[in-house]
Chain A
Amino acid sequence: MKPSIWKWSTRTVVTIGIGAALYGATSWIGIPIGTDTQLRPSIALLAIFGALFGPVVGFIAGFIGHVINDFITSGTVWWGWALGSGISAAFMGLIYLAKGFNPQDGEIRKGHIIQFIVYGVIGIFVSLAFSYLFDIYIMGEPGGKVIVQAAVAGLANTAVFFVLGIPAVWAYAKRNRNDSNLSVDS
């Protein structure tokens, strides 16, 4: 059975910690595609952690991971984008609540993937809308410039989510399926 998303066991604590470390440790990797924007594989890790452990773990791990990474690599914490990381992970983690979805036991269906795509795309959109408003109202950046950055980042994140995130969750679940990974030798 899947544990409830509100239960804080030792495993939850460790998962958040390691998830944050993983996101923080891989955030600097990227294939540059434009000004200040990269195809960052770490977004896929957020999707995977959200799907495997739920929205609460996803949100906290994404937020902490982003803040720590900012601390050690950029000299300033971009709070708006850190919360944005958390928000997109939380949305992607909604799939965890879907009935019959349990990648740990290999239970995943095509319908889950469609749901996962919907949650993920909404999550990426909401998080960028949030970061966009945060940059305009709190940081005082010009909207015309932030919208360009947010749009490019959104496209990049969506691409990574589709190319890396979804296949990884699917592959992980298939690996754990215990009644179908044996084949009859003929």
Chain B
Amino acid sequence: MSRTGSLYIEGNSFFHRMDGAVKLILLLSWTVATFLFLDLRIFAVMLAAGAAMLLMAGIPLKRMSFLFWILTVFTVLNSAFILLLTPRFGTTLTGSDTPLIPIGYSTINRETLFYVLTLSLKYMTLLPITLLFIFTTHPSRFAASLNKLGVPYKMAYAVSIAFRYIPDLTQEFRTILNAMQMRGLGISRGDGSLRRRLKNLSLIVVPLLQSSLQHIESVSDAMDLRGFGTGRRRTWYMGTVMSLADKLAIMLCLLLLGLAIFLKLQIFREFWYPF
């Protein structure tokens, strides 16, 4: 993790140069479009398009793979959980019932299996665009672009501060944790009963809270001294000017979002099940 608390990687691809606000619009419209559907065909197309865009950005695959694996493990566990708890859920979507795998108290049917596949693909569809966003957007530029999108600058600045302080607070938490462990007050599995570990955890929360409150004091004093919040608007050191390509990209995003809503209303209304 870099010093800024984000996963930003320096680069000069089309997406690195793209305005942060445009990327945020892209992320949000992509998310909304994904939320609309429950259709394998749509997700396959979106996933392919997303992967192509991600490749264009030229981010080292090694850096991204851990997030990919986290989400993969999550979807596999989630699917297993769905199959075990609601093995016949697919029937409520399709109306048909084709028994496939008996699991004792019930039978997993083909509809549910196909549903789980669709749902997993739905989650995976969100991944490339999120990766694209977090790996190519500098946090300070992100705050500037939030402001450009109409979010009040004080709110945008709070987001910027949050990114800035995550590594510091993580470090502080580690220091406190180590100090407590040294005194025999650990929170790992080997450190005693659940009750004991929870109690030890509470001993970490209080000093961490105290130091955060001190951070708040010193940072807000420093900002007040520099006149933060006196003007109704503020300019951004990391702010960028939108280029023609950026404006075209916004139009394209909105056009595709409109197309997605149209498709949802007219053609791909429900869960798609080919059999």
Contact = CB atoms under 8 A, between A and B. Distances in A.
Interface size range of chain A in the complex: 35 or more
Given A20-B162, A24-B162, A31-B187, A13 B5 contact: no
B119 A18 contact: no
Interface residues of B, number: 67
Contacts of B127: 75-76
Given A9-B229, A60-B158, A164-B201, 12 more contacts: A10-B223, A17-B157, A19-B212, A21-B163, A31-B198, A41-B204, A68-B159, A71-B6, A72-B5, A72-B134, A144-B86, A171-B206
A36 B134 CA distance: 24
Interface of A: 8-22, 24-26, 29, 31, 35-36, 39, 41, 44-45, 48, 60, 64-65, 68, 71-77, 79, 138-142, 144-145, 148-149, 163-164, 167-168, 171-172
Main secondary structure of the interface of B (DSSP, over half): helix
Interface of B: 1, 5-7, 31, 35, 38, 67-68, 70-71, 74, 77-78, 81-82, 85-86, 89, 119, 122-123, 126-127, 130-131, 133-134, 152, 154-155, 157-170, 173, 187, 194, 197-198, 201-202, 204-206, 208-209, 212, 215-216, 219-220, 223-224, 228-229, 271
Nearest to B92: A142
A36 B159 contact: no
A171 B215 CA distance: 20
Contacts of A14: 158, 161, 216, 219-220, 223
B216 to A, nearest CB: 5
